[in-house]
Structure 1
Amino acid sequence: MQKPKLVSSAIAGAVLLAACGGGGDGGTFFPTPVAANPPAPAPAPPAEAPVDPEVLAAQPKLSNTPMDEIVRNNLLPTIERLFQQVRTQKLDTELLGVKVFASNSGDKFLPGKVAIGFSYLLLNASPSDPKYKEYLDGYREIAAMTTGVTNESWGIYYYVSALWKLKKAGLLDGPDAAVDSATLATLRTKLDWRTFVNEADYSLIGLPTNYYGVAFSVARLRYLLGWEGPEASEALLQKMINHYKTFSAFGFSDETDGSGRFDRYSILLIGEIMQRLIETGMTVSAQDEASLKGWLRQSVDVIKLRLNPAGNGVDFGRSLAGYADTAFAEVLSAAEHMNVLSAEEKDIAYAFATRVTAKYVEFWYDSETGSLNMWDKGRRTDSYRGKARILGENLSLSHQLIYTNNLWKSAGYAQKAPVSTQTFLAYLDKLPRSTLTKFAGFDGQAATYDRGLVTYRDGLRVISLPVVNGAQTYHRTNPYFAIPHSYNMLSGVADTQWPQLQPKFTVATSSDPLIPASYQKNLQIAEAGKVLTVSYTQDAMDKATGGAPVKDTRITSATTYTFEPGRITRVDTYTPAAALDIAKVELEFGTYSSGATATGTNKFSFATGDVQGFEVEGLQNCAPVDVSADTNYNTPNGAFKTSIRCDSPAFNFASPLTVKWVLKYRSPSVASIAPR
């Protein structure tokens, strides 16, 4: 299995502004008579400069293959193998040790994902295909078999989406219907948005705000299937649009009602909304369309800053792994369809979507086990996407890639090879070095805090600094910390609270730790040449207990980051409101690098890996620890090898404390996203 990589290199000399690559149209060649005095042949276009071998090694092998070819040759065959397994093993189906249909499996969406995933076998086969009747009979059997299996929210959406696709293809009617009449009657009752939405006011029942999109989609598809009127879908769409207008000052979805949690879904949700409008043919008012397209364009602008040769997506927050990459593919295909991209952007977006698809095949899909891998060989997801969902995740990720591919096909890219690697790299070379994307706040009001995403590009390496607040229970987990994230160099670990790259204070009179995680203000950036400075203050610490953040004003702080090629520096100054007895201060640096050697007091170098050095000032007792066998140090993309752990013993905190760390990384370098 090819292990795609991400280059972190300023390779401007190897990147020329060359013409687009791509395949021919495959049409029939008709010879024409040769003229008596044929004109001189046109000069050949200038040859593109050879691509740096490190860049070629960094991108998936299939990066320059038409996306549809990858889908047909790789994704559909894997779906067929799973289909045959489920048809044979039925409710006893076991995948890599997981009884996927077990009542305690924890997968609440599985029947819907089975329905949508397996529908593609029917939708991509001809009735003359020898396997067609096998697909039809098997689909009917599986649909009837799974009616009693738990299927909630997202699962409901996936199922009604599958039924609508089958209906449009003429596969829900007549003696050869893919779902028998008794099963369809049962599904009509069960597949209802009212199971997770209050019908009286269309409010969600204990779910984050992205579920407004799920509810709207279910209601709209039920209407198209003839199961209800249009009122609910129209009301739910307005509910979702109003949420954006109320809590998304800069056009990005707050996952809460104003608490300020921004993550993958904040960028993705508008893409999903537009995808559902496209899927169901729903039109909105001119005013709403302008708002939706404006928000979509803003998500595109964030994604553009993060494009890379390896097909890597979001790198902070929850629910990442393969979904980090497909989020970008979903937004970009919707943007193409809604004509918010320029002609050049469309070609680049398609080239990146192809890389996402290729990365799925070569990295996320494990040919040794015959399954998607987001849980083993050093990889880890949050509990929401635990291995109990292995079958559903195989099918839903394939679904996302297939339906986005269908949009590219409808746009004329069916057999089109992406632009050449040289052209793709030349586009990346024109992107800004650093940007601050605002999510919320920035109004100078005492009661509000700044939420945003800083992006710094060092060559082809993308470094994120999310200042986003996890809210609810996520504020205390390190994927939401205001620390740098970058594929295969800097990462959080799902559902863990160890103090990655930011201090944790334990007060002597309390067991509740205090962390600088939720109360950022005055977020600013300043760029000078290749150096980016980021600064913000906090008027309180976050008491990292269960539930939502708890404000603790006994300590305030000021933070400054400096990003420059090959080096990141963070300096914090913590100031007590009054003398305070501190039991200890802790800080860690978990890294993919290994072979740590002390080069001075709290200074370390690494023998292997992209991070070459790490040093700390203001804390004591720093030492390296081998964490390669500890699952609490497994990231979405692979296992950390080393943790540098620092702590300071008890002291009376009466004057400002400055904590500084410096991280040096390989630049230029090749950064493998495969587990080391």
Structure 2
Amino acid sequence: MHRTRQSALTLALSTLSAIVLSACGGHDSSDSSTPPTDTTPPQSTVAANSLQAMVYGAADTSVPAGAGIPVTMMGQMRALFDLIRKSPDFTQVVMDLGDGSPVHVLDTNTGDKFLPGKLALGLSWILIDMKAKGDPKYADYLATYQKITTAMMAQSASGDYAYANTSWGEYYYLVALNNLKARGMLNEVFSDAMLNTLQNRLTFCDMFGPDASGKANTCPASGVAIDVASLNTAQNYYAVSYGIAGLRQKLGWSNPGFFAASDPTVATMGARDALLYTLTKHIRNDSSGGFSDEASNTHTTYYDQARFDRYSTLLIAETVERSLEMDNQANLTAELKGYLRKSVDLILPQLNANGQGFNYGRSIGPYGDSAFMEILTAAANANVLTPKEMQVAYAFIEKAAYRFNTFWYDPSLPTPSVNMWVKGRGTDTYRGKPRVMGENFSLLHQYMYVNAWWNKLGFSGQAPMADADFNSWLDALPHYTLTYYNLPSDSAHPYSAALLTVRDGSRVINLNLSQAPDYNSFSPYYPVPFSDKLIYGTTDLGYALLIPQVTYNGKTYIPVTYYKNLSVQESNGQVTVSFDATKFRQATKNAAYTTDLDLQTHTVLTFAHGTVTRTDTLSSATLAGSVAVETDFASFADFASTNANADGVSVTYANSPATAYATTGFDACALSNFDVANGTTNPLSTTPVGQLHSNFACKTNAFTLGGGAQRSFSWTLKYAG
């Protein structure tokens, strides 16, 4: 099949010259809703620590003196464009991350269904910049851009496309088209024939259906409606389809209509407004706290809903941003702005001087940082930040950009790139290494458009507030903040779902309680405190990380849902959290709820300065047979500098934020090197921010627990800084 698709691509490449040559040099009127390039400040006024310096840099996109970064984001984007441009066949472009398995990143089988849109958008930033500066190489880069975009939209005689480009890919492409139109470049870059192809292909229809034949839906004939309730993917994709519909409308392209028998109101609306209406209902109805429940589309009862993570907080910001870029500000209601303010209130207590974002849940890493940035930018544009918060937001975003340029971007790789995959880092299967090219472009675009908005907001080239003032603001934040996703009074959601954020000096610690169906067996969703370089989960995998993992009848069970009786108290500078887990879940992905174990734990976590302590008291009224319990702590500390103590139940660390870890209630503990398993890198050891090196596993012998018997286990982690 791959050979067939590649043949179709080869055929398409042979016809490129005629298509590219048909492009004409028309001029489009400017559109002020897209952040324009004329907000770019004169180079002499750009502060070295400004967001503009991190993203664009000097006039030639080089690093300004004093910026302290290896390369600007525009420099990164230009290098990727050059990598493609210099290849005789762009489908054979290779990116080498130094792990012995280079990737053909623009092949047709990367698995990145958004790749054509990501390239069209990412590379368009370079064209826009070159055109504005009168760069003499513009025509050469334009020709390469036209070759790539045309080939990636190619269709064979059988009707198959060489490259998939769905949902996000369609949205990205439409952002590029609108950005080019706003600069008067659309008809210079794309021929009428190509624009006709794009108009027919860049739709949201593939997210609805499937059709009667079982294939992905294609847009029906003009005037025929499709069912808005037939979304065939996660409900957050209503925001993607909303973006597509609005950006098509902004280009003057028509949209299919919608109907929904359960809600006739939708039938009276155009696609853009129908999708916003439906998306608003999702956020309103699927939690009582204003955060989107990202499991609500595939699960039907309260106990298997309630996945709250990065996207639950980010979705409303994306909705606001889409509204702004499509000129739909009039529909940014007080309700939507209220939801956005809730997201702001959740992340403000997590802000820090290092530009780090979400540290729990899935799909974080650099996207955890950029999510904070996108939420704050949407809030600034929607006027839901105070003047002081505007200054704080800009300061944090500049730090996030600096972190991207100095931590996530790795110029030492054989092919310099954002790094989510090597040197001890690991990410979701969803963002696997074959998608490395697309991930570079989508992340860089996020910073590009955010910088453009802050330029437009009046921060063009400005230095952020002084570090002393920023740190003073951080120091004044509450010691802890409790944010409910579902309000305690909500009888439709009887289990607790909330985020606790504790600040200990400059350290931010998050405890996220979420049902997380489909993901609750993975450690990033465990009810444990996460904090940078101290405690981190491993994507798509689980082990006994700081929870009492139970073995019973040859199967493993964990207390990762069914939370009740959540209580948070502060006394004498200590924050004490208690909650109950009323059942244990089988520790496998998508475990049936009928396999839940009648086992309870009462959990108490205490946060003091430099110390976190957890005690679990296990009990069961009915459990027969014996159980065994294990709890692990895997540390970023080097194994060579980690020492088990003579007492057999504690360990000390050096050269690490963690300094000591001790347990009670277990029969034996063992320290091991966590890096390697069976001669290869241990997949459990690769977190989004780096490799875990040592593991201290504490276990019990088999014991009985039934008839109301109890047994308690505890651990204490001490840390510095």
Question: TM-score, structure 1 length as denominator?
Answer: 0.86
The aligned residue for residue 628 of structure 1 is 675
Residue type at the aligned position of 1:185: N
Residue type at the aligned position of 1:71: V
C-alpha distance in structure 2 between counterparts of 1:301 and 1:315, whole Å: 17
C-alpha distance in structure 1 between counterparts of 2:236 and 2:492, whole Å: 28
Does residue 150 (structure 1) correspond to residue 164 (structure 2)? The answer is yes
| Offset, 1:447 | 6.1
The aligned residue for residue 179 of structure 2 is 165
The aligned residue for residue 3 of structure 1 is none
| Offset, 1:239 | 0.6
The aligned residue for residue 4 of structure 1 is none
Whether the 8 Å contact between 2:486 and 2:493 is mirrored in structure 1 is no
Residue type at the aligned position of 1:279: E
What are the within-5 Å matches in structure 2 for residues 422-433 of structure 1? 422-433=468-479
Does residue 236 (structure 1) correspond to residue 290 (structure 2)? The answer is no
Does residue 78 (structure 1) correspond to residue 76 (structure 2)? The answer is yes
Bigger drift between 191-200 and 612-621 goes to: 191-200
The aligned residue for residue 208 of structure 2 is 197
The aligned residue for residue 306 of structure 2 is 260
Whether the 8 Å contact between 2:530 and 2:536 is mirrored in structure 1 is yes
Does residue 140 (structure 1) correspond to residue 166 (structure 2)? The answer is no
Q: 1:439 is paired with a residue of what secondary structure?
A: strand
| Offset, 1:28 | 11
Does residue 343 (structure 1) correspond to residue 354 (structure 2)? The answer is no
Q: 2:355 is paired with a residue of what secondary structure?
A: coil
C-alpha distance in structure 2 between counterparts of 1:280 and 1:312, whole Å: 30
The aligned residue for residue 39 of structure 1 is none
Whether the 8 Å contact between 2:520 and 2:589 is mirrored in structure 1 is no
The aligned residue for residue 694 of structure 2 is 642
What are the within-5 Å matches in structure 2 for residues 103-142 of structure 1? 103-126=108-131, 128-142=134-148
Whether the 8 Å contact between 2:208 and 2:232 is mirrored in structure 1 is no
Q: Deviations over 1:205-253 (max 9, x none)?
A: 4422221111110111111222214711111111100011101211111
Bigger drift between 83-92 and 313-322 goes to: 83-92
The aligned residue for residue 587 of structure 1 is 631
Whether the 8 Å contact between 2:650 and 2:661 is mirrored in structure 1 is yes
Gap change, CA 1:201 and 1:582, over 3 Å in 2: farther
What root-mean-square deviation, in Å, do the aligned CA atoms of Structure 1 and Structure 2 show? 2.1
The aligned residue for residue 561 of structure 1 is 605
| Offset, 1:583 | 4.8
Does residue 208 (structure 1) correspond to residue 214 (structure 2)? The answer is no
Residue type at the aligned position of 1:80: R
Whether the 8 Å contact between 2:47 and 2:53 is mirrored in structure 1 is no
| Offset, 1:440 | 1.3
| Offset, 1:470 | 1.8
C-alpha distance in structure 2 between counterparts of 1:189 and 1:599, whole Å: 71
Whether the 8 Å contact between 1:574 and 1:658 is mirrored in structure 2 is yes
Whether the 8 Å contact between 1:63 and 1:351 is mirrored in structure 2 is no
C-alpha distance in structure 1 between counterparts of 2:711 and 2:470, whole Å: 46
Count of residues in Structure 1 that have an aligned counterpart in Structure 2: 603
Whether the 8 Å contact between 2:630 and 2:698 is mirrored in structure 1 is yes
Whether the 8 Å contact between 1:249 and 1:440 is mirrored in structure 2 is yes
C-alpha distance in structure 1 between counterparts of 2:536 and 2:117, whole Å: 32
Unaligned 5+ segments in structure 2 are 1-40, 58-71, 97-101, 154-161, 210-224, 256-268, 297-301, 677-681
C-alpha distance in structure 2 between counterparts of 1:63 and 1:503, whole Å: 51
Q: Deviations over 1:452-497 (max 9, x none)?
A: 00000000100000011221x2010000000000011111000111
Whether the 8 Å contact between 1:255 and 1:265 is mirrored in structure 2 is yes
Q: Deviations over 1:312-344 (max 9, x none)?
A: 000000001100100001111111111111111
The aligned residue for residue 481 of structure 1 is 526
What are the within-5 Å matches in structure 2 for residues 32-51 of structure 1? none
Gap change, CA 1:580 and 1:618, over 3 Å in 2: farther
The aligned residue for residue 95 of structure 1 is 95
Does residue 373 (structure 1) correspond to residue 419 (structure 2)? The answer is yes
The aligned residue for residue 403 of structure 2 is 359
Q: Deviations over 1:510-565 (max 9, x none)?
A: x4422100100111100113200001112211123332662625212211100000
Gap change, CA 1:63 and 1:416, over 3 Å in 2: closer
C-alpha distance in structure 2 between counterparts of 1:573 and 1:211, whole Å: 41
Bigger drift between 627-636 and 356-365 goes to: 627-636
Residue type at the aligned position of 2:650: K
Alignment counterpart, residue 572 of structure 2, candidates 529, 533, 537: 529
Question: TM-score, structure 2 length as denominator?
Answer: 0.81
Alignment counterpart, residue 552 of structure 2, candidates 500, 507, 523: 507
What are the within-5 Å matches in structure 2 for residues 535-550 of structure 1? 535-547=578-590, 550=593
C-alpha distance in structure 1 between counterparts of 2:541 and 2:117, whole Å: 30
Q: 1:622 is paired with a residue of what secondary structure?
A: strand
Whether the 8 Å contact between 1:63 and 1:354 is mirrored in structure 2 is no
Residue type at the aligned position of 1:301: D
C-alpha distance in structure 2 between counterparts of 1:357 and 1:444, whole Å: 39
Q: 1:114 is paired with a residue of what secondary structure?
A: helix
Alignment counterpart, residue 51 of structure 2, candidates 67, 73, 83: 67
C-alpha distance in structure 2 between counterparts of 1:494 and 1:324, whole Å: 13
Q: Deviations over 1:429-450 (max 9, x none)?
A: 1100101110015127496211
C-alpha distance in structure 2 between counterparts of 1:167 and 1:28, whole Å: 29
What are the within-5 Å matches in structure 2 for residues 591-610 of structure 1? 591-594=635-638, 595-610=642-657
Whether the 8 Å contact between 1:604 and 1:613 is mirrored in structure 2 is yes
Residue type at the aligned position of 1:182: A
The aligned residue for residue 14 of structure 1 is none
Residue type at the aligned position of 1:170: G
Does residue 662 (structure 1) correspond to residue 719 (structure 2)? The answer is no
Q: 1:465 is paired with a residue of what secondary structure?
A: strand
Q: 1:268 is paired with a residue of what secondary structure?
A: helix
Q: 2:227 is paired with a residue of what secondary structure?
A: coil
Q: Deviations over 1:401-431 (max 9, x none)?
A: 0100111000111121111111111111110
| Offset, 1:63 | 10
Task: Give the structure, 1 or 2, with the largest relative contact order (CA under 8 Å, sep 6 or more).
Answer: 1
Whether the 8 Å contact between 1:539 and 1:553 is mirrored in structure 2 is no
The aligned residue for residue 46 of structure 1 is none
| Offset, 1:504 | 1.5
C-alpha distance in structure 2 between counterparts of 1:169 and 1:543, whole Å: 55
C-alpha distance in structure 2 between counterparts of 1:250 and 1:404, whole Å: 27
Q: Deviations over 1:158-186 (max 9, x none)?
A: 1111111112222222xxx2122333222
Unaligned 5+ segments in structure 1 are 1-24, 30-61, 670-676
Bigger drift between 222-231 and 384-393 goes to: 222-231
C-alpha distance in structure 2 between counterparts of 1:465 and 1:64, whole Å: 36
| Offset, 1:26 | 8.0
